[in-house]
Structure formats: C-alpha cells, structure tokens
Structure 1
Amino acid sequence: MKKDIFKIITLILLTLSFSCEDATELIQEGELTEDQAFRTLADIQTGLLGVYAAYDPDAGGNGTGNSLYANAILTDNVKSGLASNGQGAQDYDYLVSFTTGSIPDNIWNDRYVTINFANRVLRAMGNLTFTGDELVEANHIKAQLLAIRALCHFEVLQYFATDYQDPNALGAININYVPEIDEEFQRNTVAENLAFIKSDLDAANSLFDTNNPTVSNPIWINQDFVKVLRLRIALTEGDYSTNHITLANELLASYPLANFGQYVGMFLDVDNTEVIFKLERTVGDGSVVRLFYFNFVGPGDGFLEMSNELYNLLSENPGDARLLAYVNNQSTIVGVNDSSNEILINKYPGSADGVQLNDIKLMRASEVQLIKAELQARNNMLTDAASSVQVLRDARGAGSTPTYNTLNEALTDIMKERRKELCFEGHRWLDIKRIGNELGTGVSRLSVDCSSFEAVCDVSSNDFRFTMAIPQDELNGNSIISQNPGY
C-alpha cells in the first residue's frame, strides 16, 4: 500500500490517541476525534489502507531492519559485501541488542502498531451502522482487519515465544481492543495466543465476501490468506493432521507453481501466477533493496551479499531458475568459496515502479508445496513427500529426484529446499528456530562467509538467542511483563 495513505491515517490516529488518553481528557479546539475521522464506509476503507501500510516487515536499511532483514543477517544466507562499512556486523555476530532500533524492537513495535491501528478501525466500525451492500463491504473490511491482526499476533509469537509446542510458555500479548495509555500487560501463554489467533481467523473467514472484486488481487487479504496462515500455524504448533494436506492441495489447485519464465517475472513484479498475498510497494514507498545496497543493485554498491554457502546450493544445478532469479548477472565469481567473490543479491531487482522498488511476496504457492511435503513426511508418507519436493524442483528446472528413507532425511532435505526457495523472504531464521533442535542443526556458516565479518560461524540450535528479547522500550513502559531467559 502506498505510504502516503499511511501518513494520513497515522496523523489521524495519533490525534485520536491523545484525544482520549491524555491526563486531563480535555477536547481541544479543532481536535479531530474518532467520531469525526470515521463517519462513513469510505473512511473505514481509508483506515484499512492505513493498517496495511503500518505492517512493514521489509522496513529498514543501512544495517538495520525488520523481519526480512533479521532472517537474512542472523542466518547463513549473507556475508559482508564489497561496499560494507560494517553494516549489520553486530547482528551477524549475535551480539544481539534489544534497545531502540534493534531487530527485536523493530519487529515488536511494528506488529503492535499494526494491531493497535486495526483495533482502532474495528472500534470505529462498532460505532457505525451499515445495511445492505454497505454491510457486506463493511464485513469484508472487518475480515481483513481481523486477519492481519491474527498475522501480527502470530508473528510476535514466532519471534518471542521460547517453545511453540509448550502451551504454558509465554508468547505474545493478546490485544483485541484499544488500551489506555497507562495499562500494563503480562504476556499470554502460547495456548492462549493460538486460541486467540484462531478465533480471529474463524471470524474473518465467516465475513469475507467471495464476490468482492479485491479477492482476485493478491495485494488484498482474502480467504486464501487465512488458509496459508492456518498451515503456518499448524507446522508451528505441531499439528500435522492430514486435513492440512487437503488444505494445501486446495490452495495449490488455485495457485499453480510458476514455470521458469513466470518465476523470473514474479520477482520483477510482472507475474502473479503463484503469489497468494503480497505487500504492494509503489513510487513513494520505502525500498526493500536498502536492506542490502546503498543506491542500486549492482557491483560495488552492496554492503550485504549472498553467502558463498547459499550460492553453492543454488549452483548445484546451473539450470535452476532460482540461480538466475536470485543472483545478479553482474556478480563476480572468482572461484568456489573464494573470499573475493562478489555475489550480488537479486531477489529484489527493481520493477517498472523504480530500480529499488519491488512488491514483497509474503505467501506463495511454493511455500505451500513445501508445507505439504513436510506434512506428508511427518505422516510417514515419505514417498509422497519426495514427490512433492520433486514437483517443485521440476518447476524450477532443478532436477535431482530425492529419496527419503527416514523422517530426518526428509526434513533435512525439505529445510534445504525451503532455504533455496524462500531466501530473503523472511523465513530462514524462523525455520531454524522451529525445526533446528529436532534436526540438531543451528546456524552454521562457511568460514569464508563468517570471516567476512570476523564473526561467529556457528550458533547452536538451543542457543537462547533463538528466542528474541522483549525490547527495552516495552520493558520501560510495562513493569509487569516478563523478559525471556538469557537476557
């Protein structure tokens, strides 16, 4: 969504927050109240746009950022670039900060700002009455608000819960209303988080208008968004029911895997064949390229580059579409694991809207295909799991038919495929956190990559830092919240 909408709604909502929560609760002359800001369905639609714009996992640049940045810098997919002045060195070395502007602070604040904005629009909707076609449209808007609220709560759970499958572990703070400025909250348990998130998704699913013209456009949340989020939740909580395989098949029937040409075009924002949901980024929006480059995707400008290790994986088959799509053709490869290799990240190569602008693909059919494969493996359907991975490899021109004799073999190979397919899309660190202990694998970087930052090469899967710290800003304003172990 265009960020000028975000600026407008931010001004409105900041005014609203002070109008109802200051110490004197006086209404100032000329003050814009909630009743004035949200009076029509069009106002509510504008509020929805503000909520979309508030959700910003691609934010950041020059060595700081949100979840896309975190899943790159904290893992084995990047190394220091030719243009580096030390951007990201502290995070790469796991000298993890949780002060203002740190990764945990950025993720926590962005998700709760988005939740707060959603709750404000939902509150305003409760004060309005709609009938007929307007009621159908209003319900469709409410469904989107509930779904993005569920996504944000789930992502806080992913980053800040110690154990997804321990129902009593602390996770996110469930917020379904607009709190007063002096309210404090303890974190809810994982069980409470999951129940809350699923309740939001159930409510959203019942409110969507399947005839709404936005449902065919991947920049808008619809029922398929809810299906993908349910699949992510299932893997996270360890619910491997075969019903989820059926759900994955439903999605794959509607979103076929892209062929070679479509795949390359998807990252140029000219093809949406397998895109289920993406964040639209147009002129005036922030550029995701700033997470890796100063000014442009090209030689000499990258302060972060693709790791040699990831490049080696992508190069296993020279015909792999991912090698073409993810590695800029101006890269310089001196030799295998050579410290002079300049491996330029091309996941966000720019689009017709600008050399630094790309939509952020958050849900794709390939992720669903790999979730399906993992579910099959966990149900002892090892041959089926191998076939599902092979379908994806065939679509990418990657060859190499897998054979799985054990669950461990299957999960290890599926993790490898997820790493190649979903790199720089916000999955890698979360994947290691979710499944690393089960496989006995943490972050393990090639020496040529970690030495580019003179940083740690290996981080054990049971390291406490695989659960992020509650940010200092939250601790300062919330005296009853519990910090995670180790911090």
Structure 2
Amino acid sequence: MADLDVKPTESIDQGVAFQSVDDLNAGVLGVYAAVSTSTISVSSLLSDEAMWPLENNTNRGTQTFSWKQDGLTADVIVAWANYYQVLDRANRILEVIDNVYATTLESDTKRQLKGELLALRAFCHLELLRHYAVDYKPASMGIPLMLRSEVGKPGRDTVRRVYEQINIDLAAAKSLIPAGFSNKNRITNMAVSALQARAALWQQDWDAAITASTEVIDAMPLADRTEFPDVWLDRSNAGVIWKLKREAQDAKFGDFYRDGANRVLFAPSFKLISTFDAANDVRFDAYIKDLAPGEPERRWTVNKYVGGQAALVNLADIKLFRVAEMYLVRAEAYAAKGVTGLASGTKDLNDLRAQRINGYLPQVFATPADLLEAVLLERYKELAFEGHRYFDLRRKERNIERWAADVAQAPTALTLTPDDRAYYLPIPARERQANENVSQHPKYP
C-alpha cells in the first residue's frame, strides 16, 4: 500500500499551495494575469464603432462582424471561458485564505488580498452578465454564479440574484482594501467604488450610481487636455483608476485592430469618426490615426492601443476604469432622475467635454431626455474601443445602426434590432453539451 501513497508531482493541492501571505500574493497576481480583453473586441465587432477595411483579407472576425455568430464562434464565446477561469482561480484562493497564517505586520495585506479577490469576482460576474444574460430585467435569466471552485452543472441565476452577489462582494471588498493602497495595476479602494458605480448604472439604481461615482470624482481629477494624449502612450496615469499592465511577454491586444505587418484589420467606423471635432477634440488623435494622410483612399486605424514604445507596439496598458466614465455614469444617473437632476448632470457632461475639446462652450439641455441622448453620444466617443458601445446599446434596447460605408467589405444588414438573434450572445455550444442545466438564449436554437 505504501507504493500507492505517492503524492503527485505535476500539480499542487490548493490546500497546501498557499502557506504564506507571499504565496497568496503570487496567487492573486495569477488571477489578474488571466483577465481577458475580449470584451473590447466583442463590442467593436458587434456595434457601430468599427468598420472592416478592404485590406483585412484574414477572415478574422468575419462571422461576428456580419452578425452571424453562433455558439461555436470564437469571438463571442471566449469571454465565457475566460471569466469563469478567472472566477475559478479567485475562488480557489478565497476558499483557503482565512486559514493562511499571517503575522501582525502581514494581516492588513492579507485582508487587502481577500478584498481584491472579492472585487475580481464581482467584476467577472458583471462582465459575464453583460455578455450572456437573456436580457437585463431583474427577473430574467442571467448567468450561473460561481462562488466555489467545483465541478457541477449549475443553471442560470436570475439577473437580480447576480446583482445581489456583485453588491455583496463589492461591499465586502471595500471594507478590506485600505484607502492607502494605490497600485493602479490592481484593484484599489477607488476601483471598487468605480465598479460599484458601473454595476449600479446597470441596475438602474441611480442614487447608488451617483454616490459611488462621486466618491471617485471627489478623489481623482480628470486627465486634462495636456495630459490626455500621454495616457494612451503609457506616459501618464492621469484619470486612470484600474488598468491591466502589458509587458513584452504579454499577448498583443492591439493587433486586433492593426497587426504587426501594419495591416488594418478593424478600423474606426466612418460613423464614429464623424462625431468628433477632429481639429479641437484631443481624443481624435489619441484614438484615431490616418496612415495615408492626403491620399484619396484614407487608411484610418485605431491608435488607442499602439502605445508609446517602438519595441512594444500594440502593447499599451488596457485601461479598464477611468474617471471620465464616472462623470458619464453620474450624468446619466442625474438625467434618469428627471428635472431635479438636469442641472447637475449637465454640469458633469460639460466638465468632461471642457477637458477634451479646445474652445468648448458649455451646452444647455431643455429636458432630461435631451441630456441622456448627449451622454450616450459622449460615451460613444469618450469610451470608444474600451468595450462599452455594444453593451450600452443593449442595456438601452437601442438598435445597432451602421453606415453603408462601414460594411463595404462585409455586406450585411445595416440595422440590428432587439428582435434579431444576433443582437444577443449565445451560451457556448460546448458548455451546453457538458451542462444541460444552463439554458441557451431563447433567440438561439
């Protein structure tokens, strides 16, 4: 029997993998390392912020951009596998963290690490809900919550139940992460507030959205017009709350838009380009570049992820949360509260625009509905290529409307409505094969 009592050498049981606070920290870094950028690419492919230029002959993204995705389409199912992998990693550490010994000097760090894991769990559940919920009504089917690392066959929890867990995890995280922790490559206390603000916006909890976004706005200034371009060259962290650090060994996210051979794969849509005052809006040159200026055939490209180091092209850090989003969250929440919020919401929108547009003159909006339309337009511009546009249109149940010039390479319908199947994302086919309890989106067979 002694021969059978041999411990495996190719893996380590999680019960003994974490013996110290240093071990915990290494494990938490591993959780961060698994966070995907697929939300950005999915949003660009499905919405009206990107176009497919003629030079993209790679067939990359074809099915999704053409609104023909299904449960086998890699672009739309990758988020499911990724975020549940991150949840699995986080839950494995959460299951043992309380039993790991910490000295008196290490106890605060251990609390912080637990807070980061809970916030990461909330972030992943929110991202999964944004992608795969049937819709965003509280009683509708959301996604399976994953609160333990285990093999099972869970069904969908309701949207309401998922939000409840997100709120619970974020509240706990906020009590554990010290205010003095300021590493923008990780989830700080301010990042938790930003997460709470985004989650509250999706829940249409306007008061909570205002409270959480105000905490961030009061603590962190916007990047001004001088600082803003350097943010996208990784020379400044002005206005950045939480980002994914990218190094030479990391996968190149930026080559989703333009590859190493300088071929433009997905370009800014002509529709998006038309919304900017190119001469005065600092965002235009930071986000968008013409590779053939003066030529009859313009070669527009997304400039946001190229970065500022020649040796690390397409490896710009991924800005997951910025203060600018908080201004837009608060402005939308004020608009949703009606006439009583009109002045405050207008001020937030004007304050943001003043830091982006040279010579900007503050606007006045006659009604909260007018303000809301302006906020949604500003989200289209300010948060372009950051993984918001498709999900913003979905949560507002708006049609996705493209210009004909933006689909010349992939002729398809110009309008996608909430009645259309492709408006939604399917549960991956392999997940359905392995787990009959997780129901497919009703728009998919």
Bin the TM-score by the shorter chain. over 0.9
- Between stretches 348-357 and 262-271, larger displacement belongs to 348-357
Residue 325 of structure 2 corresponds to which residue in structure 1?
367
Q: Is the contact made by 2:178 and 2:189 (CA closer than 8 Å) also made in structure 1?
A: no
Residue 5 of structure 1 corresponds to which residue in structure 2?
none
Residue 229 of structure 2 corresponds to which residue in structure 1?
264
Question: Equivalences for 1:197-236 in 2 at 5 Å?
Answer: 197-211=166-180, 215-236=181-202
Tell me the secondary structure at the aligned position of residue 115 of structure 1.
helix
How far apart in 1 are the matches of 2:391 and 2:171?
A: 25
Tell me the secondary structure at the aligned position of residue 69 of structure 2.
coil
Tell me the secondary structure at the aligned position of residue 319 of structure 1.
coil
Letter in 2 for 1:252: I
How far apart in 1 are the matches of 2:259 and 2:418?
A: 32
Tell me the secondary structure at the aligned position of residue 454 of structure 1.
coil
163, 177, 180: which one pairs with 2:148?
A: 177
359, 384, 391: which one pairs with 1:430?
A: 391
Write the deviation string for residues 197-228 of structure 1: whole angstroms up to 9, x where unpaired.
111111111111334xxx22211111111111
Question: Equivalences for 1:68-467 in 2 at 5 Å?
Answer: 68-85=40-57, 86-99=59-72, 102-164=74-136, 166-179=137-150, 181=151, 183-211=152-180, 215-241=181-207, 243-295=208-260, 301-314=263-276, 316=277, 318-332=279-293, 340-352=297-309, 354-380=312-338, 381-397=341-357, 399=360, 401-435=362-396, 437=397, 441-467=398-424
Write the deviation string for residues 413-443 of structure 1: whole angstroms up to 9, x where unpaired.
11110000000000000000011x3xxx311
Deviation of 1:334 after TM superposition, in Å, equals 5.7
Letter in 1 for 2:283: R
Tell me the secondary structure at the aligned position of residue 355 of structure 2.
helix
How far apart in 1 are the matches of 2:312 and 2:11?
A: 38
How far apart in 1 are the matches of 2:392 and 2:226?
A: 28
Q: Is the contact made by 1:228 and 1:363 (CA closer than 8 Å) also made in structure 2?
A: yes
How far apart in 1 are the matches of 2:292 and 2:348?
A: 32
Write the deviation string for residues 4-46 of structure 1: whole angstroms up to 9, x where unpaired.
xxxxxxxxxxxxxxxxxxxx99843665332442211111111
How far apart in 2 are the matches of 1:405 and 1:48?
A: 49
- Between stretches 325-334 and 455-464, larger displacement belongs to 325-334
Is 2:34 aligned against 1:54? yes
How far apart in 1 are the matches of 2:5 and 2:67?
A: 45
Identity %: 29
How far apart in 1 are the matches of 2:192 and 2:292?
A: 39
In 2 relative to 1, CA 462–374 (structure 1 residues): closer, same or farther, beyond 3 Å? farther
Write the deviation string for residues 55-81 of structure 1: whole angstroms up to 9, x where unpaired.
112xxxxxxxx2110111111111112
How far apart in 1 are the matches of 2:278 and 2:430?
A: 47
- Between stretches 36-45 and 265-274, larger displacement belongs to 36-45
Deviation of 1:102 after TM superposition, in Å, equals 1.7
Q: Is the contact made by 1:81 and 1:304 (CA closer than 8 Å) also made in structure 2?
A: yes
How far apart in 1 are the matches of 2:167 and 2:11?
A: 37
In 2 relative to 1, CA 201–186 (structure 1 residues): closer, same or farther, beyond 3 Å? same
How far apart in 1 are the matches of 2:97 and 2:204?
A: 36
Write the deviation string for residues 391-412 of structure 1: whole angstroms up to 9, x where unpaired.
1111002525333223332221
Letter in 2 for 1:245: I
How far apart in 2 are the matches of 1:333 and 1:224?
A: 44
Q: Which runs of 5 or more residues in structure 1 are unaligned?
A: 1-23, 58-65
How far apart in 2 are the matches of 1:333 and 1:347?
A: 22
Write the deviation string for residues 157-212 of structure 1: whole angstroms up to 9, x where unpaired.
11111232x32211121111111x3x21111111111111111111111111334x
Letter in 2 for 1:425: E
Q: Is the contact made by 1:234 and 1:240 (CA closer than 8 Å) also made in structure 2?
A: yes
Q: Is the contact made by 1:79 and 1:453 (CA closer than 8 Å) also made in structure 2?
A: no
TM-score, normalising length: structure 1: 0.85
In 2 relative to 1, CA 460–36 (structure 1 residues): closer, same or farther, beyond 3 Å? same
Tell me the secondary structure at the aligned position of residue 132 of structure 1.
coil
Letter in 2 for 1:394: A
Letter in 1 for 2:161: E
How far apart in 1 are the matches of 2:422 and 2:5?
A: 42
In 2 relative to 1, CA 447–329 (structure 1 residues): closer, same or farther, beyond 3 Å? closer
Q: Is the contact made by 1:369 and 1:392 (CA closer than 8 Å) also made in structure 2?
A: yes
In 2 relative to 1, CA 402–442 (structure 1 residues): closer, same or farther, beyond 3 Å? farther
In 2 relative to 1, CA 451–146 (structure 1 residues): closer, same or farther, beyond 3 Å? same
Tell me the secondary structure at the aligned position of residue 426 of structure 1.
coil
Letter in 1 for 2:193: K
Q: Which runs of 5 or more residues in structure 2 are unaligned?
A: none
Deviation of 1:462 after TM superposition, in Å, equals 4.1
How far apart in 1 are the matches of 2:64 and 2:5?
A: 42
How far apart in 1 are the matches of 2:240 and 2:96?
A: 32
- Between stretches 102-111 and 43-52, larger displacement belongs to 102-111
How far apart in 1 are the matches of 2:328 and 2:321?
A: 12
Letter in 1 for 2:119: A
TM-score, normalising length: structure 2: 0.93
How far apart in 2 are the matches of 1:403 and 1:462?
A: 35
Tell me the secondary structure at the aligned position of residue 70 of structure 2.
coil
In 2 relative to 1, CA 30–459 (structure 1 residues): closer, same or farther, beyond 3 Å? closer
Q: Aligned residues, how many?
A: 436
Deviation of 1:247 after TM superposition, in Å, equals 3.0
How far apart in 2 are the matches of 1:177 and 1:106?
A: 21
Tell me the secondary structure at the aligned position of residue 284 of structure 1.
coil
